[in-house]
Chain A
Amino acid sequence: MLTCDNYHLPITLQDALVLWAAAPEGSRLVAGATDLLPWAREGRAGEVHIPALVDLSRVAELHGYTTAKGRVRLGANTVWQAFLTDSALRRLLPCMPHCSSWFADDQIREQATLAGNLANASPVADGTPPVAALNGVLELAHLEGDTIVARTVAVSDFVLGPGRTVLEPGEIITAVTLDSASGYGGSFQKVGQRRSLVISVACCAALVKTDNTGCVFEDVRLSLGGVGPRPIRLNRLESALRGERISHGLIDRAAHMAAAEVASRSRQQYRRSVVVSFVGAAIRDALADQSDVVVNFQDTEETASV
C-alpha cells in the first residue's frame, strides 16, 4: 500500500522542477501511476511510504506534441492511447499504434505515458523497441539556480539496466523526440502469457519503407525488447535488407540472423525461436501496413528457401 506525506500537482515545469529538486530522498515523480501503484503492493515493494509525490500530469509544458525538421516531439504527458486516437500521430509514427493496441488495455492506456514507460526501464517494456526504431531521444530537464537546463539522451543510452536510467536527482523527462516516419509501414509483435493486459516475454517493432514500385527495401528499422537488459536495434540485419530486392527468402534469411542477438538470461532457447519468427512477421506486417504501396515479392512464400 502506498502512503505519502505530500502529493503535489504543479502546473508549470518550473514549479515541478522546484518541487522535485526540494523533494526529500525517496520521493517519486508520478505520471500515469500505472507502474507506481501496482509496485507498492504485497509481493513487490509492499508497504511504501513516500515523502513527496510530484505529479506531472497537470504540467502544461509536458502536454501535446509538435513536429519540426523530420522529428516529432512528444510532451512527456503523452499517453499510450494517443497513438491510437490521434490520426496525425498514427501517420507520423506508424509502429506506435500497433504497439499501443498490444499495450495493457484501453483504460490503462488513457493514463499510462510513454515517458513513464521509458523511465520505469523494465527490460520488457513495450515502449523501448518502437522508440529505438524511431531513433528516439529523451529530453531531460533540471534546475540550475532558477534556470531550466535541458540535455538530450538517446533512448539506447538512457536505459542502463533493469530499473536503472541515466536520470540524475532533480531531473525530469520533458519530452521524447522521434523520427517522423510518414510513409513507412509499421508493426509490432508481442508474446506474453495472454493477449490482453500482459507484459511481454519478448517483443519486436518494425518500420519499413519500400520504393514506390514495392520492389526494394528503401529503409528497414527493427528492434527487439525482452531479449536483454536493454532494447536492441538490429543494425546488421537492417543493412542486410536496405537497398535489396524484396523477397520472402531474403526476409527469412535476415530473420535467422536475429537469433544471435538474444542475450537474456532466462528462457534463451525459447526467446531465440520466438525472435526469428517475430522478425520475419514484423517485416511482413510492416510491408503490408505501408499505405499506397503494393509490395512486389520476388518469390512466393512457398518457394522461398532459407
Chain B
Amino acid sequence: MSELWVELEINNRKIARKTQAHKRLLDFLRDDLHLTGSKEGCGAGECGTCSVFVDGRLVKSCLMPVAKASGCKVETIEGLAAPGQLTTIQQAFHKTGASQCGYCIPGMVMAATSALRQNPQAGIEEIKERLGGNICRCTGYTKIFEAVELARAVIAGDQSEDVLAEEPVGKSYIGHNQRRIDAPARLSGRLKYAADIRMTDMLQMQVLRSPHAHARIVSIDTSEAEAMAGVAGVITSEDVPGTDGFGVFVHDQPVMARGKVRHVGEAVAAVAAEDLITARQALAKINVVYEELPGVFDPEEAMQPGAVVLHDYAADNIVKHIPLRKGDVAAGFAEADIILEENFSTQQVEHAYLEPEAGIAYVDADDVVVVISPSQNITHHRQMLSRILDRPINKVRCIMSPVGGGFGGKEDMLYQGMLALAAMKTHRPVQLVFTREESIVASAKRHPSRVRYKMGLKRNGQILAIRFSMISDGGAYGMSSEGVMRKAAILSCGPYEVANLCVDTTAVYTNNTPSGAFRTFGGMQAQFATESMMDIAAEALEIDPFEIRRVNMMLPGSKTHTQQELNSASLDRVLEAAEAASRWETGAPHMRGATRSDLGGADTRAPCTLGARFAGGRPGADGKERVW
C-alpha cells in the first residue's frame, strides 16, 4: 500500500505526516489524528455526519481522498469553539433540544455553521435547503431548524444572548423547557461512540456474510486466512465454548451460522486483524462451500403444509401465535347493521439510525470478557453471552456505549457474541464497525405484516365485533418477534372498547432478513389497519371520523382487549385537542366543503421546495451580487 506525505492545517494547527494514499479525509481525521467528532454514517456522501470545512467550503469528508486536502485549511467540529466552550450555533442547538442521539449533530452543526456563514440572513427555506445534505433520524428536524433560526437571530443581534441561557425551573419540570445535560458532549463532538473508541493494541474485525438465503454449509476452510500476515484470529461457530443460541424469547440464533445459513447477510465467519484492510482481504481467503437449499420468502407460503422448514424445532415455521378472545364474536356480527371486511399490508422497514452497529470486546486482567456496544438491552445480552461463552455471569461485562440512534434496532443482540469470541481467541481488544450496507443487510427490520380485518358495527357507529388476523414475516430468526406479536395483539383493535373480539397475531419464519424490535413494537402495523377501518366505517355510515371514535373510545371503567379494567383514560382529551389543532371540518369523510381550512395554516409545514436562493431575485437580474 503506497504512502503519501500530507501537509495541511487542521483547526489552526499545522499537521505534516505520512498516511496511506487511498485514505479519505475522514479516515485521516478519525484514524490518524483521532479527531472522531466527524462520524461515518454511510460512507457514500448521503448522510452528512462527516461534514467538514476545507478551505472554507463545507464538504463531505467521506468523499474526499486525503490527498485533495493537502495544503488546505481544514476545520472540523473540534475546531469550532475553544475547548470547553460552545459557539452560538451549538448553544442554540442545546437550547432547543436539537440534539438527541447526537450522531448526526457534529455534521448538522457544521452544516448550520456553513449556512449562516454563507448567508447570515438565510430564511427558513434556505436553511432547510442548505442543511439538505445532512440526515437526522431522531428529531424530525423541527428542533434543528428552530436552533438555526435562533442562532441567526442572536448572531444578527436581533435577539440577546440571554435567549440561549438555561431557563429557571419553576415549580415543576413538567412543561418546562429543560436543556439536556448530555447535549454539550454531543454538540462539541467530544462524546465517544463505540466506533470512536481507540484502545492500545486493538484489532479490527470484519465479518464474512452469506450470499445465500438458505444453504447448508458443507465446509468452511479458514486456513489461508489464518496464515495471512497481520491476521490475529479467525472465528466460526466452532469457537463457541458454551450453548450457542440467542434471541429475546427463543434462543434460535447462533452467534455465527451453524450448519446452515438462513438469510442473505447472515454472519458465517469473522476475521480479527491488525488493520481493517488486512481483515477485509482475509475475508476473501475464507473458503465456504455451500449447498443451496430452496427458500421460502412469503410467510403465508411458509405456513402451508410441506413448506420449506427453517428450524428443526419449528416444523410449522411458526415463531409465535398469540390468540386473544373476548366476548362472543359470532353473536356480535349477527347483531351488526353493517359488516366491513378489508385487508391491509405493511412493508419491511429499516431503522436507519445514523450510527451503524459498532463495538469493542476485550478480556481484562481478571479474565472478565468485556463487550462495549450501543446495546439497548445490556443486561439481557450479558445473560445470553454468559451461556454462549460458558462463563459465570461475573466474568461477562457489558458496557453500553452511547447509542447513535436505536429505535429498537439495537435491542436485539447481533454481533456482540462474535466480538467476545474474537477477544477470547486473540486476547486483544477487538473492534467491529459495520458499514452502512452491512447494517442494512444484517440488522433486524420492522415486521412486514398482513392483516385481515372484519368489523361489525351498529348504524350509530358502535363497534359490535372485530375479527383481526395478522400474519407477520419474522424472517430467519425469532429475535423480538414474540414480544412484537404480543404487543400487536394487545393494541390490535386500538383504544376502542369492543365487546366481542377474536384477535390472532402470528409471526412466521421465512428466509428473509430477520424482523425484530422497532419502535411501537407491532403497534404501528395494527393501528394502521384499525385506524383505516375506523375511517372506512365512518365513510360507510356517514359519520364524522372523530365522532365514530368518540362513540367507541375507552373510558375509565372500560375493559381493554385483554380484559383489564381501566381506571383512567385520556382519549377524549386527545381527540378534542387533535380536532382543534387540525381545524377539522365536521362531517363524514366525503362531506368536505368547497375549501379546505385545515391546510396551509400557521401550524402546518409546507413541503420543502428547492431554489429558495432564487427567491431573492432572479440570477443576476438585479445586477447586485448576493451571497449564494
Give residues in A with beta carbon < 8 Å to B.
Answer: 1-7, 9, 30, 32-34, 37-38, 41-43, 47, 53, 55, 57, 81, 84-85, 87-88, 90-91, 94, 97-98, 101-102, 104-108, 110-111, 195-197, 289, 291-292
**A97–B614 CB distance below 8 A:** yes
Which chain A residues lie closer than 8 Å to B24 at the CB level?
A: 37
**In whole Å, how far is B45's beta carbon from the nearest beta carbon of chain A?**
6
A-B contact pairs, 20 of them (CB 8 A): A1-B277, A7-B4, A38-B44, A41-B43, A47-B284, A55-B68, A57-B68, A84-B613, A85-B628, A90-B619, A101-B610, A101-B611, A110-B57, A110-B59, A111-B60, A195-B609, A196-B608, A197-B133, A289-B618, A291-B621
Chain A, Cβ-Cβ closest to B114:
A106
**A7–B2 CB distance below 8 A:** yes
For the complex, give the distance between the alpha carbons of A96 and B24 in Å. Answer: 29
Chain B, Cβ-Cβ closest to A79:
B57
**B2–A4 CB distance below 8 A:** yes
For the complex, give the distance between the alpha carbons of A108 and B111 in Å. Answer: 12
For the complex, give the distance between the alpha carbons of A94 and B65 in Å. Answer: 32
Which listed residue, B2, B43, B64, B607, touches A6 by the CB 8 Å rule?
B2
For the complex, give the distance between the alpha carbons of A107 and B111 in Å. Answer: 9
With contacts A4-B2, A5-B2, A108-B45 taken as known, whether A196 is within 8 angstroms of B133 at the C-beta atoms is yes
**In whole Å, how far is A113's beta carbon from the nearest beta carbon of chain B?**
12
**A1–B625 CB distance below 8 A:** no
**In whole Å, how far is B147's beta carbon from the nearest beta carbon of chain A?**
18
**In whole Å, how far is A184's beta carbon from the nearest beta carbon of chain B?**
12
Most buried by B among A1, A47, A55, A107: A107
Interface set, chain B 14-66, CB cutoff 8 A to A:
21-22, 24, 43-46, 48, 51, 57-60, 62-65
For the complex, give the distance between the alpha carbons of A292 and B48 in Å. Answer: 39
With contacts A107-B51, A197-B132 taken as known, whether A91 is within 8 angstroms of B608 at the C-beta atoms is no
**B133–A4 CB distance below 8 A:** no
**A43–B1 CB distance below 8 A:** no
Known: A102-B610, A107-B133. 15 other contacts (CB 8 A): A1-B280, A2-B22, A3-B277, A30-B65, A41-B43, A47-B280, A55-B67, A87-B620, A105-B133, A106-B130, A106-B132, A106-B133, A108-B133, A111-B59, A292-B621
**In whole Å, how far is A268's beta carbon from the nearest beta carbon of chain B?**
25
Chain B, Cβ-Cβ closest to A190:
B610
Which listed residue, A4, A37, A291, touches B620 by the CB 8 Å rule?
A291
Interface size of B in residues (CB-CB distance below 8 Å): 48
**A107–B628 CB distance below 8 A:** no
Which chain B residues lie closer than 8 Å to A110 at the CB level?
A: 57-59
Which listed residue, B43, B64, B111, B280, touches A33 by the CB 8 Å rule?
B64
**B59–A4 CB distance below 8 A:** no
For the complex, give the distance between the alpha carbons of A192 and B362 in Å. Answer: 46
Which chain A residues lie closer than 8 Å to B619 at the CB level?
A: 87, 90-91, 94, 97
**B132–A105 CB distance below 8 A:** yes
Which listed residue, B58, B64, B65, B621, touches A7 by the CB 8 Å rule?
B65
For the complex, give the distance between the alpha carbons of A7 and B58 in Å. Answer: 23
Q: Is B437 an interface residue (CB 8 A)?
A: yes
For the complex, give the distance between the alpha carbons of A91 and B624 in Å. Answer: 12
**B44–A37 CB distance below 8 A:** yes
**A98–B611 CB distance below 8 A:** yes
With contacts A34-B63, A55-B65 taken as known, whether A42 is within 8 angstroms of B620 at the C-beta atoms is no
Q: Is B438 an interface residue (CB 8 A)?
A: yes
Q: Is B178 an interface residue (CB 8 A)?
A: no
Which chain B residues lie closer than 8 Å to A97 at the CB level?
A: 614, 619
With contacts A4-B22, A47-B284, A55-B68 taken as known, whether A37 is within 8 angstroms of B437 at the C-beta atoms is no
**B132–A196 CB distance below 8 A:** yes
Interface set, chain B 136-191, CB cutoff 8 A to A:
none
Chain B, Cβ-Cβ closest to A4:
B22
Chain B, Cβ-Cβ closest to A185:
B618
With contacts A41-B44, A98-B611, A196-B132 taken as known, whether A107 is within 8 angstroms of B58 at the C-beta atoms is yes
For the complex, give the distance between the alpha carbons of A60 and B248 in Å. Answer: 61
**In whole Å, how far is A58's beta carbon from the nearest beta carbon of chain B?**
8
Interface set, chain B 91-131, CB cutoff 8 A to A:
111, 114, 129-130
For the complex, give the distance between the alpha carbons of A292 and B619 in Å. Answer: 12
**In whole Å, how far is B622's beta carbon from the nearest beta carbon of chain A?**
9
For the complex, give the distance between the alpha carbons of A30 and B22 in Å. Answer: 12
**In whole Å, how far is A126's beta carbon from the nearest beta carbon of chain B?**
12
Which listed residue, A3, A9, A42, touches B1 by the CB 8 Å rule?
A3
For the complex, give the distance between the alpha carbons of A7 and B67 in Å. Answer: 8
**B67–A107 CB distance below 8 A:** no
Which chain A residues lie closer than 8 Å to B62 at the CB level?
A: 37
Interface set, chain B 203-240, CB cutoff 8 A to A:
none
Q: Is B87 an interface residue (CB 8 A)?
A: no
Most buried by A among B67, B111, B435, B613: B67
Which chain B residues lie closer than 8 Å to A55 at the CB level?
A: 65, 67-68
For the complex, give the distance between the alpha carbons of A259 and B611 in Å. Answer: 27
For the complex, give the distance between the alpha carbons of A32 and B45 in Å. Answer: 12
For the complex, give the distance between the alpha carbons of A91 and B617 in Å. Answer: 13
Which chain A residues lie closer than 8 Å to B613 at the CB level?
A: 84, 101
Which chain A residues lie closer than 8 Å to B625 at the CB level?
A: 87
**A106–B65 CB distance below 8 A:** no
Which chain A residues lie closer than 8 Å to B438 at the CB level?
A: 42
**B133–A53 CB distance below 8 A:** no
For the complex, give the distance between the alpha carbons of A125 and B280 in Å. Answer: 32
**In whole Å, how far is A287's beta carbon from the nearest beta carbon of chain B?**
12
**A101–B614 CB distance below 8 A:** yes
For the complex, give the distance between the alpha carbons of A34 and B70 in Å. Answer: 18
**In whole Å, how far is B132's beta carbon from the nearest beta carbon of chain A?**
4
Which chain B residues lie closer than 8 Å to A41 at the CB level?
A: 43-44, 435, 437
